[in-house]
Every structure is written in C-alpha cells, then in structure tokens.
Amino acid sequence: MRTERAPAQRRFTRLLSAVLLPLAALLGLALGAWHGAALGALVACLGAAWIERRAEEHMARRRLLLATPFPDSWRTFLRERCDHYERLPETLRPRFENDLRIFLAEKRITGVELELSEELRLLVGCSAVMLSLGWPDYEWEQLAEVLVYPQDFDRDYGFDEAHLAGQAHPWGTVILSASALRQSFADPNDGFHVGLHEFAHLLDLERTTFDGVPMGLDGPTRSAWLEVQERELQRLRRGKSLLDPYGAEDPVEFLAVAVETFFEPALEMRQRHFELYELLRGYFGQDPAAWDEPRGL
C-alpha cells in the first residue's frame, strides 16, 4: 500500500478542479450574475483544496504509522501462525508488515457476538495481505467491512444449522467464522483457508458482480484463464484434481478454491496443475512453490 499519492491520483484531482471550476462559475452566473459566478468559482476552488488536503493527510497518517517500529509481538505471531510470512524472502517481509499495519489501521473489522481479539484481527489482516502483497499500490478499495462470527453460520446468519465458514457479498462485506479462520492458519498445506477464499471473491468483484475471472486481466491473459479454467473444472468434476471439490460448483467458486490451493499446497499444485499455477503466479506476482523449495517441503 502506498505512503505517497500516485501521480495518477494527483492528475485526477487537478482534472476534477479543472472541470468543477467552470461548472460552478456557470451555475453561479445563472443564479446570481457575475458575483454568483465568482462565488461558484470560489466554492469549487475550496472544494478541490479540501479534497487535496484530505488525500495528503491520509498519506501523512500512513507515514506516521510506519515510522513506529513493527511490534515484536506481532512479528512473533506472524512467524508462529502465518506460514506464508515465514516462507517469504527476507526482502518481502517488511512490505508484508507495512501492508498489514495499514490494513488493520484503516479497514473496519467487527466482531459479531464475540469480542474481537488482536489474534483475530491479525488473522483477518494476514488473509488479505497474503493476496495483495505482490501489488504495492493495491488498496482493497472494494472492501467495505469484515464481520467475524464466533463459529460457522447458516444462510440466515444464525447458528442452528451452521454450514457456512465464510461469505463475501457483492457490496464489499466479508463474513468469516472465527473458528474456521483459526483452523485455516493451523494447517498451511490442507488447501482450506476461509480468509483467502472469501477475499479472493472480492478480486472477482466488478460492478457488484462475480463472474469467476480475476479482475484486471488483459485480453490474452483473460482468454488463457477461461481456457484453463474450463479444463480444470472438467478435471475437478471427474475427481482428478488436487483442488477441493467445492470448486466444481461454478467458475466463481473455482477461482476462490484455486487461490486457496495456490497459497497452501503450492508445490503440489505446481506439479499437478502447472498451467493454473503459472497463471496465478503471474497474476499475484508471487511464487509460493519456489519459496517452499528451500524449506525442504
């Protein structure tokens, strides 16, 4: 995540000012002759300055946050509980730590019928940062809120017939079961990770719609994804796949299950599903199988 505004963001602010200024002046002119035009132009200038100031203050808060040392207790937690952090090259661990701090400082994470502990907050943050680590400018802008339930839940969000470990909504809310989230980090090679699964759905979210294609793919890569996805779905439905059978439900669930497998039994996925692994490696800008090899896994 950035600590300085991107040039594109600055250009957008200037463009917005350039558009608002004449519009406000024309509106003011229509309502109150020349003094109305002057007032409209002044309001537009003040509005643009307010937007610019808010954006700079946002980045200043991030820089202040990252100027403080990363908590030793958090680093110990990551080494003990987050296998992906442990497998990372040393050069990437500071970025993981910084992105984690920013995510936890800025994203709303709410406990539902449980007291949200530091442990659960860290597990939620790790789930998201694992996915976005290879994208230095990524902000998780589509994420509205994370709700953490004490256990699995049903479709009415009760616990009587609990069968859901997580859920992602097209308006940007992610729901996670605390028990399933802890289980996800307990075994890094079982291919089950509810945090990765549900945050992966948000990477599929475009205009409040899920379609099973990761957002941001260019034309040729999108075509390659669709071809590999179809072959892998057929393989999964024949019971010849490393991926969890739940991925055979539809392309949307296939994507989330493939992401879980990519980050967990990575070496086995690369061996048995090389094309799919390579597509995800290029997409995420990460190579967990290569990072696992020196560990003798």
Query: What's the confidence (pLDDT) of residue 110?
Result: 98
Element (H, E) at 166: strand 166-168
Query: What's the confidence (pLDDT) of residue 209?
Result: 82
Beta bridge partners of 111: 148
Please give the model's pTM, rounded to 2 decimal places.
Answer: 0.84
* Domain membership of residue 5 as a residue range: 1-68
pLDDT category at 250 given cuts 50, 70, 90 is: very high
Are the C-beta atoms of 243 and 217 separated by less than 8 Å? no
Whether residue 44 is found in the same domain as residue 134? no
pLDDT category at 180 given cuts 50, 70, 90 is: very high
- pLDDT of residue 44 exceeding 50: no
At 95-132, the pLDDT tens digits run 999 999 999 999 999 999 999 999 999 999 999 999 99
Are the C-beta atoms of 121 and 109 separated by less than 8 Å? yes
Nearest 5°: the CA angle 188, 183, 151 is 155
Are the C-beta atoms of 41 and 21 separated by less than 8 Å? yes
Instruction: Name the average pLDDT for the chain.
Output: 88
Q: Which of 43, 68, 93 is the last residue of a domain?
A: 68
Whether residue 181 is found in the same domain as residue 227? yes
Query: What's the confidence (pLDDT) of residue 61?
Result: 92
Mean pLDDT of 149-159: 93
The answer to which of 105-114, 129-138, 152-161 has the lowest mean pLDDT is 152-161
Whether residue 120 is found in the same domain as residue 173? yes
Whether residue 199 is found in the same domain as residue 276? yes
- pLDDT of residue 166 exceeding 80: yes
At 63-80, the pLDDT tens digits run 999 999 999 999 999 999
Q: Buried b vs exposed e over 107-131: b needs ≥16 C-beta within 10 Å?
A: bebebeeeebeeebbbbbbbbbbbb
Task: Say which residues have a Cβ less than 8 Å from residue 225's Cβ, sequence separation at least 6.
Answer: 213, 214, 217, 279
Task: Say which residues have a Cβ less than 8 Å from residue 211's Cβ, sequence separation at least 6.
Answer: 204, 251, 252
Q: Which of 16, 49, 68 is the last residue of a domain?
A: 68
CATH number at residue 235: 3.40.390.10
